[in-house]
Amino acid sequence: MEQIVGGLSALGPIWAKFGLCANVIALAAALLLGPAAFAASAAPVPVPGAANLPESALPAPRAQGPVSLEKALAQRRSQRSFGATPLTVAEAGQLLWAAQGITGGKGERNAPSAGATYPLVLYLVAGHVDSLAGGVYRYLPQGHRLQGVAVGDVRAALAIAARGQRWIADAPALVVIAAQPVRTAARYGARAEAYVAMEAGAAAQNLLLQAVALGLGGTLVGAFDDAAVRRSLALAETEQPLAIVPIGHRR
């Protein structure tokens, strides 16, 4: 199996000359070898020098909306079926802001953090988001911006990484909550694991309540292969994926 996948990958430079994207390699592997090969070969294409790429400003988040907190709490339900309507960049930005946006003059964020160590890192996996190419974007709370990390739609790869939950790939966008636990561990030692988990839960609930307020829906996914998710998102070795939150309009 590895020989076949390797052979297909070796053809990548040749196919690229004919305008075929790298995802063709993953699709061919999936057809020949099944979902497991697809998950292994459908990693995104890291952007060379991504840290030096221009950052994309998101529309300013709104501080008021037509849906009360009480109504959002009452209406929040786990949603695993999504319509074809894409998200807007403003909606994507509002969701990210709800989870990790800065709301205080000293850098305080929407979700509480032990000792203000802020270990969480949010990634937007864009499939169908207006004005955004399919790819992986890191959310930068400072300045409310996006930083491109990898090109290519990896929703299907993440769905397979999530124990074959294929409905995940139907969502127009996914928010992956990851963390750099060392930020919190440097101050709290072994207790950091619990503190980081608490913070991730708070951020996820903020995001899901904001989704309701925007007329969207989603759910919290925790069943996945960490290594496969890390490969799909080109995460740094110091980053740990904690949750996947598919978001979209109701079908």
Domains of the chain: 1-42 (no CATH), 53-248 (3.40.109.10)
What are the tokens at 92? 């994507």
- Over the stretch 201-246, which tens digit does the pLDDT of each residue have? 999 999 999 999 999 999 999 999 999 999 999 999 999 999 999 9
Average pLDDT over residues 108-137: 96
Q: List Cα–Cα distances, 51 to 1, 55, 99, 147, in angstroms.
A: 35, 9, 23, 8
Residue that the structure tokens 């995460």 belong to: 235
Tell me, what's the pLDDT at 55?
Answer: 83
What count of other Cβ atoms lies within 10 Å of the Cβ of residue 165?
17
What count of other Cβ atoms lies within 10 Å of the Cβ of residue 190?
7
Residue that the structure tokens 């196919």 belong to: 15
Average pLDDT over residues 81-110: 97
What are the tokens at 229? 């998710």
User: Distance between CA atoms of 154 and 135, rounded to whole angstroms?
Assistant: 7
Q: What residues contact 238, with CB distance under 8 A and at least 6 apart?
A: 180, 182
pLDDT over 80 (residue 26)? no
- Over the stretch 144-175, which tens digit does the pLDDT of each residue have? 999 999 999 999 999 999 999 999 999 999 99
Lowest mean pLDDT among 16-25, 78-87, 129-138, 197-206: 16-25
Tell me, what's the pLDDT at 4?
Answer: 33
Regarding predicted confidence, which is higher, 13 or 53?
Answer: 53
Tell me, what's the pLDDT at 251?
Answer: 87
Average pLDDT over residues 96-106: 97
- Over the stretch 35-83, which tens digit does the pLDDT of each residue have? 444 444 455 665 544 554 558 999 999 999 999 999 999 999 999 999 9
Following DSSP, what letter does each residue of 127-195 receive, concatenated? SSBTTB-SEEEEEETTTTEEEEEEES--HHHHHHHTTT-GGGGGSSEEEEEEE-THHHHHHHGGGHHHH
User: Distance between CA atoms of 64 and 164, rounded to whole angstroms?
Assistant: 38
pLDDT over 70 (residue 5)? no
Average pLDDT, the chain: 85
pLDDT over 70 (residue 182)? yes
